[in-house]
Structure 1
């Protein structure tokens, strides 16, 4: 692979204009195509084999217009100046209902002046609009159009807000200023790292081309596949981070070779042949980790994983082709536009000194690092998983306003009603049997209200809309779901039931996903370094950084100490103490997605550090000295790369969506811990203690493994020790 990458890098350097033009055309074409043709998004929220999916399938089989396939939109009315039943206001509402009935695809409009349509205070009402035959991927646009049609009610002084009936997975997340903030912070770090504006702009430009290409591909895939709405934001987050980092590693190596007097094209060739291999392997670990999500048993998570991996693929491709092309075009001008007092060539003595300091006291460093990491990970035991509802939305936003009005007027459970479907025997539509089912559901603890039952056209199924005493995010709502399911022949669907089933499925499949990711990543490292001990140790180290990330998530969201700082707004009626400790549940699929992303990203720094240590060890065979030299040569680059990652991820915390905030906090903390405590102290300490055992490989395994090589190992003149003559330092 080293020879192949070297030839590829040399060719790109010699044909820089062609490569640059091709990438610009590809990125512009794909991005332009997705903008012109549109980027359809449609989350597959099915969970095969679950009770909620069975209820959903029964709904689709014929429960009237708008059920299952058409969509439902609710408009909440609030009259602050008087009751909705007052004649003038009632006439305004009737005018709004007439306009709603004339809207395209609307097949049924339920007036608020019906049983259960107006709250007991007579000031809050609910209009339910059922639609059929519309584009289900444009729920937000359709909801806005329906809300606009209710303007006659607004003219009478009635507040009209659209209640969001979608699940958190349905939220459309649009790009915004966070990308600009992240890129600006990354540029600042690069300027400090390189000292020249020309060098700093290369990783930024490469990452932007990579992200544009990936987003274009993802957008066009939406025409043939179900692309989750989160795919774009996840691809942008990960694509920016790894795209800038990979280019940074290559650029650092190139500038060192150039400073040592190597010709431009030769410097590029050697850079891609060596650091390019580390980039390919690092990207491979991220892709493997994301691909393992297909074993989660949750179609949405599976699709989100492999589609997000597209951004990593484009980052690797631009790193080994576009970066060499830019370096070939710039040549020595890579050091142009110098910033005063910055960019002096670092000798790495500070990081090498740290490595030597760790090598002299490995046991003490090991114990201290483990204690610190254990303290950071301990709060993870308090991690609170559960569904999110609009009660955690941005204060003052329309979904949250509708949520609060619904909770005030009809109870907290009205924001997430259960759709109970019972299958009837051959005596179709038996009224006594239906009454028996209704009474059984009403007798379940936590059930506040059961709407009038609706029997389908065949008379073989009955639908009940059930309102519980609890908000959708309350864990007790899920308990009510299970109690209702205990009734014979009854299936429960709806938002609460679906998310509860998703959480159960995630908990069942999590051990399998973790095991596969760890095993495959360790196998990839084994192929790269031909050292079983290093491969296993690296996988375990990455799990440790994950513990620290989950601990941070628990502190910020589950315990609530800091949720306000990341923009989570507590209810207006909260006390001062509740404002400080505002607990927010974390979606059940988020930890598994975070695990896959973090495990892959953590492996990046492991690969770059290990390649430097291994090269030093192959030169002189002194393990402790090799650790110090490896840390010295990579410490500054890894720190700069980590700062860029942290800056990008922290910038995304500004997004209003709680899921994006969760990812921003978890990714930022994990990368920061990984690049400091783990790579700076724990990994060097363990490598010093393991001694030559780090690079030991049984002869039979050495013969079986293909010689893929990272960082040009096969070109090193020194032989690699097959088995240690002595174990230890």
Structure 2
């Protein structure tokens, strides 16, 4: 038993007091967390698109980020408000440029009811997103008396609204989850006191984890999705860990043990299993640090922090509270009428036992079933949302802005692709001009482009173009000179030019994503030797984000599996047992992703977000270890005393099946609450995890795992040392269901 647990049992009042002080100190830090978190993080800072964007910023002195302020009036001429809006924008922090219809007449609708301003910002995406709320307030307050509605949209505004809505969805999910947890725990424990302990501990764990998150956010960028991850992971692990320990403690009390003896047994058995389960969760979440993306790093940190806090509470605060409560843990019991004789589960238990003793046909049938469930993974198309208004609720400001542009103007121009070409100055400009023509040819033959612009398409005769790329632009008309300066320049001893491509569909469409990949495949061989080519733009950034996630998946899977393998081998003192455990977990994740693809992508017409598979794997891979460890630990406990493999499986199943189902019901309640989210990405995560929990608890742990244990035989337990029956007497004295606490 850990030293801290012994201390909790020896000085329970001191331990409870320490935790109450810590929780009280954490509250003000938690309240400051939302202001310290940052929106965004859905881009790969090492991707091709970001590098190309930096080249454009250095060469053409462009603002790295843009927003559009859409102005609309239902009646009358909107242009009377443009001057006022431009003045408000110019004085806003980090704004480097403001353009409107006076420089670009196409930005004014034919009926003059709708227009927009393009604001350039010299700041990183996170800084721009954190300014959006203030910008909206300034525009609304400054233009409201002129009868003009203003909406702020653009790639960063869409990402900002996505993050804000995600945070609101997390709050809604918590409001749904806590009442569900109360109901489920009342059904499981049938005692108000026993129900309150896990709920209060879970609330304290969330408060402490968010306070730690605030401290982390002071020294590093942390995504606004940190709150979502703390809620969805923290509620599940904190309640489950309390459930396992309290259930075993009450079982020992029901067997006639005194409070301290019952707690010692509960912490030595269930507490030991909880400790390794928590470490397995942490190990799986550590793998999410591999992609080095802010969103993934933030989610991983959230899960790791809240799991470690829940573990610390389970090892110290929980035993201290149980010690002080004693038999008052059964205070305010809820009487539920039972069937006569209380043997309703016996036929089902007997049926399971008969199935387990025929492992080969059972495993073959279940393998076919899981293969069918996982089959739709072959149809999956992973894609992170890119400047996509459809995933936001209709009342989102950025979505309303895009809707107005779609009705009155051509919004595709807002998110073009840009092909950036460079070559050393000593090569001369000719190879670069020839490469531009090759890029234009490739774009024109793709069938997915409506327009493109380059130095070869601004109407300059060949002689004038040759002179201009050579540095002689004095003879060009002012308009042509300005257009040329936006497309061709020199920087750091290199000629730099760009080709601006407007795709036939929006930035979030499959067609535009395919266009980016196609250009990146074909252009390097189409341009002249010595010319480098890169593709950037909102869609290209999304492609880079998707690619780094997909490319990191083998490393994520391998790291989580390896660390968990070592932990389980240490916990069970057997290298054979962890191997089928890993296979089972991988099977559950594959089946859940297959069903998620079938439901979301095929039936509901939603793309599977590229973040979802990795998150479902990491979170479920860790959480499913709870069931594995608690069941195998109980079986091994029986085997150490009785040295009968079949009896160990039967008794262990009888003692833990209801407990695992209760824990699974709690997790499903938490995950299903996230289906109330308004964002499809959050819904997908909640649905995927809920499916995985149901499959894991009802099929894998009740059918597949016992059958595999029968198939492997006693060697699955590895080398075991002789154990004294007395040391496990508390767990084995009673074997009938009536002996267990409800």
Q: What TM-score bracket applies, with the shorter chain setting the length? A: 0.7 to 0.9
**Could you say which residue in structure 2 is the equivalent of 1:554?**
597
Could you tell me how far 1:515 is from its partner in structure 2? Answer: 2.3
> How big is the shift at 1:135?
9.5
Whether contact under 8 Å (1:163, 1:399) holds in the other structure is yes
Match of 1:368 among 358, 365, 368: 365
Q: 1:110 aligns with which of 84, 99, 109?
A: 99
Contact 2:384/2:545, CA 8 A, preserved across alignment: no
| 1:385 counterpart = 2:382 | yes
Equivalent-residue separation in structure 2 for 1:454 and 1:241 (angstroms): 54
| 1:681 and 2:703 aligned | yes
Hey, what does 1:613 align to over in structure 2?
635
SS at match of 1:461: strand
**CA separation in 1, counterparts of 2:132 and 2:5?**
50
Residues 635-694 of structure 1: CA deviation (Å, up to 9, x unaligned): 111111100100001101212233221210111110011000111111111212222232
For 1:695-723, what per-residue CA distance to the aligned partner results, in whole angstroms no more than 9, with x for missing partners?
Answer: 245xxxx8xxxx9x9x9999559xxxxxx
Tell me which residue corresponds to 1:448: 450
Q: Deviations over 1:231-269 (max 9, x none)?
A: 221121101101100000000011011122222122222
- Map 1:568-717 → 2, pairs under 5 A: 583-697=605-719, 715=727
1:189 CA displacement = 0.7
Q: Distance in 2 between matches of 1:441 and 1:168?
A: 31
Is 1:528 matched up with 2:571?
Answer: yes
Bigger drift between 473-482 and 215-224 goes to 473-482
**Separation in 1 of the partners of 2:310 and 2:136?**
42
Larger mean CA deviation between 612-621 and 147-156 belongs to 147-156
Q: Give the corresponding residue for 1:358.
A: 355
Instruction: Specify the alignment match of 1:72 in structure 2.
Output: 66
Q: Which residue of 121, 124, 135 maps to 1:145?
A: 135
Mean alpha-carbon deviation: is it higher for 262-271 or for 410-419?
A: 410-419
RMSD: 3.3
Alignment of 1:232-381 (within 5 A): 232-296=227-291, 298=293, 300-341=295-336, 352-381=349-378
Is the 8 Å Cα contact of residues 29 and 211 (structure 2) preserved in structure 1?
yes
Deviation at 1:320, TM superposition (A): 0.9
Change (3 A) 1:483 1:384: closer
Contact 1:356 1:625 in 2 (8 A): no
- 1:171 counterpart = 2:168: no
Q: Does residue 90 of the first structure (1) align with residue 84 of the second (2)?
A: no
Deviations 1:45-66 (A, max 9, x none): 5636531232133245364353
CA drift of 1:629 comes to 1.1
> Counterpart of 1:171 in 2: which secondary structure?
helix
Name the counterpart of 1:538.
581
Q: Is the Cα contact below 8 Å between 1:42 and 1:226 reproduced in 2?
A: no
Q: Tell me, in whole angstroms, the C-alpha distance in 2 between the residues paired with 1:346 and 1:671.
A: 28
Q: Distance in 2 between matches of 1:136 and 1:63?
A: 22
Matched, 1:55 2:49: no
Give how far 1:535 is off.
1.0
Any idea what the Cα deviations from partners look like across 1:497-545, whole Å, max 9, x if unmatched?
1221222223333223212322322222111112222211111011111
Determine whether 1:191 maps to 2:186. yes
Which deviates more, 42-51 or 194-203?
Answer: 42-51
1:12 is aligned to 8
Change (3 A) 1:331 1:441: farther
Distance 2:184 2:347 in 1: 19
Which of these residues, 112, 125, 143, is aligned with residue 115 of structure 2? Answer: 125
Q: Distance in 1 between matches of 2:349 and 2:651?
A: 6
Q: Which runs of 5+ in 1 are unaligned?
A: 564-582, 718-729
Match of 2:472 in 1: none
Residue 404 of structure 1 corresponds to 403
Q: Which moved more, 1:51-60 or 1:252-261?
A: 51-60
Pair 333,479 (structure 1): closer, same or farther in 2 beyond 3 Å: same
- Give the TM-score of the pair, scaled to structure 2: 0.83
Q: Which residue in 2 is equivalent to 1:461?
A: 496
Please say if 1:421 is aligned against 2:420.
yes
Distance in 2 of aligned mates of 1:495 and 1:457: 24
* Residues 122 and 437 (structure 1), Cα distance of their counterparts in 2 relative to 1, 3 Å cut: farther
Work out whether 1:204 is the aligned partner of 2:199. Answer: yes
Q: CA deviation at 1:187?
A: 1.2
Q: Flag the structure with larger Rg.
A: 2
The CA distance in 1 between the partners of 2:101 and 2:240, in whole Å, is: 56
Cα–Cα, structure 1 residues 429 and 107, in superposed 2: closer, same or farther, change >3 Å?
A: farther
Contact preservation (8 Å) 1:34, 1:216: yes
In structure 2, the residue matched to 1:567 is none
Deviations 1:306-359, CA, capped at 9 Å, x for gaps: 443111111111111111111012111100011232799989857743542333
Deviation at 1:495, TM superposition (A): 2.4
- Cα distance, 1:11 vs structure 2: 2.3
Q: Structure 1 residues 661-670 or 27-36, which shifts more?
A: 27-36
SS of the residue 1:61 aligns to: helix
Q: Does the aligned pair in 2 maintain the 1:429–1:455 contact within 8 Å?
A: no
Deviations 1:164-198 (A, max 9, x none): 41275972432422102111111111101111010
Tell me the SS of whatever aligns to 1:473: coil
1: CA distance, partners of 2:348 / 2:15: 37
**Structure 1 pair 401–48 and aligned structure 2 pair: CA distance change class (3 A):** closer
Larger fraction in helix: 2
- The total of aligned residue pairs comes to 674
Instruction: Tell whether the 8 Å contact from 2:229 to 2:302 is kept in structure 1 after alignment.
Output: no
**Aligned equivalents of 1:589, 1:97: Cα separation in 2:** 38
**What is the CA–CA distance in structure 1 between the aligned matches of 2:572 and 2:725, rounded to whole Å?**
9
Work out which of the residue numbers 31, 49, 62 in structure 2 matches 1:35. 31
> Which runs of no fewer than 5 residues in structure 2 stay unpaired?
454-482, 730-742
